[in-house]
Every structure is written in C-alpha cells, then in structure tokens.
Structure 1
Amino acid sequence: MSAFTSDQFAALHKTNLANLAMMSKSTIDGFQKLTQLNLETARTALTEGQESLKAVLAGKDLRDVLAVQSSVAQPAAEKAITYARQVCEIATQAQAELARAVEEQYEQNHRNLQAFVDTFVKNAPAGSEAISALLQSTVDAAGNTYRSAQAISKQMTDVARNNLAAGASAAATRGASGKA
C-alpha cells in the first residue's frame, strides 16, 4: 500500500488553499461590515452630539437643559440596542459562513479518510481484522464526536441569539414604560 501520490498531495494542497482563501474572505468581509457599521455609528453619534450641544447651549435656563438631556437618553439607549443587534447579525453571518467552510472541509477530509480506511481494509493481510475493525471504529467515533460538537455549537449559537433578542426586547419594553 502506498502513501499519497504527488497528484493526491497537490490536490489536497489545492483544496486546502481554496478553503483558506474562502475563510479569509469571509473573515475580511465580516470585519469590513463591522468597520462600516462602526464608522456610520460614530458619524451619527458625532452629528447628534453636536445637535444636542447646540440645543443645550440654546437653552435659556436649567429646565431647558434638563429637557434636552432627557430627550437624548431614551433614543441613545435604543440606538445602543440597535447597534448591538447589528453587531450580533454581522457576527452570526460570519460565524455561519466559517462554520459552513469548516463543515465542508471536515466532510471532505472524512470522505478521504474513509476511502483510505476502505482501501486499507480491502488490502489488509489475513489476520488483521481486529486492526481493520479498530480503524473503522475510530473513524466512526470521530465522525460522531464531530457531529455532536457541531450540534452543541449550533445550540449555543441559537441560545446566544435568543438571549440577545430577549435582552433587546426587555430593554425596549423598559424604555417604552419609562416614556409613559
């Protein structure tokens, strides 16, 4: 039984480089979206801060200044919640793309490993049934472990997303009750 041929080795590297490029692109796209969100948020905060400062300076007495301050607090909290939600969406999208890439890579590697095991079992000398069975059992256990970890990861992502949504809802409800 021979090891990798040069063609197999080249194909493996080509696949790995393509996966690395795809994962790098996903990561950079996520950073780009996050940077764009941060710039837009900073620009908006600067503009609104200047408008608030003008309103405070235009106030005739303390009551006017306090009215401006109270009118700014609630929209600021709502904007912070919206910002956190947008960051979560960007992170979730990037995580989903990276998870998809990892899953594709794992599936390909698992198929390659299974083909290797099948070839090994087919060409194994007589008396090596125990080693063949152990090898196949190890491959099956690794696949099951990966699927379990993947399911747990998905559940954790869903819990985090639901907690963020619940927190945003609760904060919005508190803000609405504070206005009334």
Structure 2
Amino acid sequence: MNQLSPEQVLAAQKAMIDATAGLTAKAVEGFEKLLALQIETTKAALSDTREGARKALSVKDPQDFFALQIELFKQATEKALSYRLQFFEIASATRVEFDKAAEAHYEANKRGVQRLLDGAVSTAPAGSSAAVTAWQAAIDATHTLYETMQSTAKQAAHVAQSSFNTAAEAASRSVKQPAARAVRQ
C-alpha cells in the first residue's frame, strides 16, 4: 500500500489549519454582522417606541388613537419581517461558505480514497479482484448516499425558505388590509 511521505502529511496538516482558520474567520464575520443587525434593530425599536408614545400622548380622539395603534402595529410587523429577512440573508451567506468548505473537503477526501483504492488494486495479489470490486462498490455507494443526502438537504432548505417567504408575505398583506380599512373608517 501507498504510504504518505512526511511532506504530504505536513501539507495536509497545513491545509487543515488554513481551512479551519478560514471557517473560523467566516463564522466570526457572520456573528459580527448578526450582532450589528441586532444593535441596529434595538436602537430602531427604542426610537420607534419613543416616537409611538409621543404620538399616542398627543392624540385626543379615540378613533385617531385606534388608527395610530393599527399604524404602529403595521410598522412593527414590517420591521420584524425586514429583520427576519436580513437575519436569514446573513445566516445563509455564512452557511454557504461552510457548505463550500465541506464540499471541497469531501471532494479532496473522495480523490484520496480513490487514489488509495487504485494503489491497492495495483498491488493486490492475484485472485483478489472480488474483494477489490466489493470495496469499490461500497465506496461508490457511500458517494451516492452523500450526494443524495446533500441534494435532499438543499431541496428541503429551499422549500422551507419558500414556505416562510409565502407565509411572511401573507402576514404582511393581512396586516396591511385591516390597517387600510381602519384608516378609511
């Protein structure tokens, strides 16, 4: 069987350190973006609350107070949906980076396993072709399983995102319609 040289081991270790450092940097970058979003959202919520209270205290007519409450609720709902969208975009971008790294690692390992198997085949004793064929079939089945699971996970994430977007849009419309009716009355 083929044995790895010290240079190959060192190169593999350096590659793993680089990959880990890169993923750590992406995770910290994503965390910083989420933290900035949270701080921005908190500041906006405090400002909106202060402004809403100021407006509520200046209203004299109960009808106007009710309309103000509906308008404030509508604005809060829209901001919550916007926050959710921004949060999802940041989280998705970070996940994409991790997915890319995982796929690259998988492909590198897949090639390494295939090279190892090819080396075993070239040095295999006569009459061992059945065992080698069985190993190749097992490796191929593992690759197929991984690729199927990866495809299924991507489809599930897409369906979940589409469902949430549809629900968010419906919620936004349902808030806007009663608010528009209340203002007209």
Q: How far 1:131 sits from its partner (Å)?
A: 1.8
Pair 174,65 (structure 1): closer, same or farther in 2 beyond 3 Å: closer
Query: 8 Å contact 1:27–1:94 — kept in the other structure?
Result: yes
State the match for 2:100 in structure 1.
Answer: 100
AA matched with 1:155: Q
The answer for unaligned runs of 5 or more in structure 2 is 181-185
Q: Is 1:73 matched up with 2:73?
A: yes
Stretch of structure 1 that moved more, 143-152 or 55-64: 55-64
Distance in 2 between residues matched to 1:101 and 1:57, nearest whole Å: 55
Q: How far 1:56 sits from its partner (Å)?
A: 2.2
Instruction: After superposition, give the CA deviation of every residue in 1:65-116 in whole Å (9 maximum; x if it has no partner).
Output: 4443232111101111111111111121111111111001100111111111
For residues 84-163 of structure 1, what are the structure 2 equivalents within 5 Å? 84-163=84-163
Query: 8 Å contact 1:78–1:172 — kept in the other structure?
Result: yes
AA matched with 2:54: K
Instruction: After superposition, give the CA deviation of every residue in 1:24-71 in whole Å (9 maximum; x if it has no partner).
Output: 122112111111111110010011111112222333465554443232
Distance in 2 between residues matched to 1:67 and 1:135, nearest whole Å: 72
The answer for unaligned runs of 5 or more in structure 1 is none
State the match for 2:183 in structure 1.
Answer: none
State the match for 2:43 in structure 1.
Answer: 43
TM-score after normalising by structure 1: 0.92
Structure with bigger RCO (C-alpha 8 Å, 6+ apart): 2
Matched positions, count: 180
Q: SS of 1:125's equivalent? A: coil
Query: 8 Å contact 1:56–1:64 — kept in the other structure?
Result: no
Q: Identity percentage over the alignment?
A: 33
Distance in 2 between residues matched to 1:28 and 1:152, nearest whole Å: 28
Distance in 2 between residues matched to 1:178 and 1:49, nearest whole Å: 22
RMSD across aligned C-alpha pairs, in angstroms?
Answer: 1.6
Stretch of structure 1 that moved more, 166-175 or 104-113: 166-175
TM-score after normalising by structure 2: 0.90
Distance in 2 between residues matched to 1:17 and 1:126, nearest whole Å: 41
Distance in 1 between residues matched to 2:160 and 2:65, nearest whole Å: 39
Distance in 1 between residues matched to 2:96 and 2:89, nearest whole Å: 10
AA matched with 1:8: Q
Q: SS of 1:175's equivalent? A: helix
Distance in 2 between residues matched to 1:173 and 1:60, nearest whole Å: 29
Q: SS of 2:125's equivalent? A: coil
Instruction: After superposition, give the CA deviation of every residue in 1:127-146 in whole Å (9 maximum; x if it has no partner).
Output: 22122112211211111111
Distance in 1 between residues matched to 2:167 and 2:61, nearest whole Å: 37
Stretch of structure 1 that moved more, 89-98 or 109-118: 89-98
Distance in 2 between residues matched to 1:172 and 1:32, nearest whole Å: 29
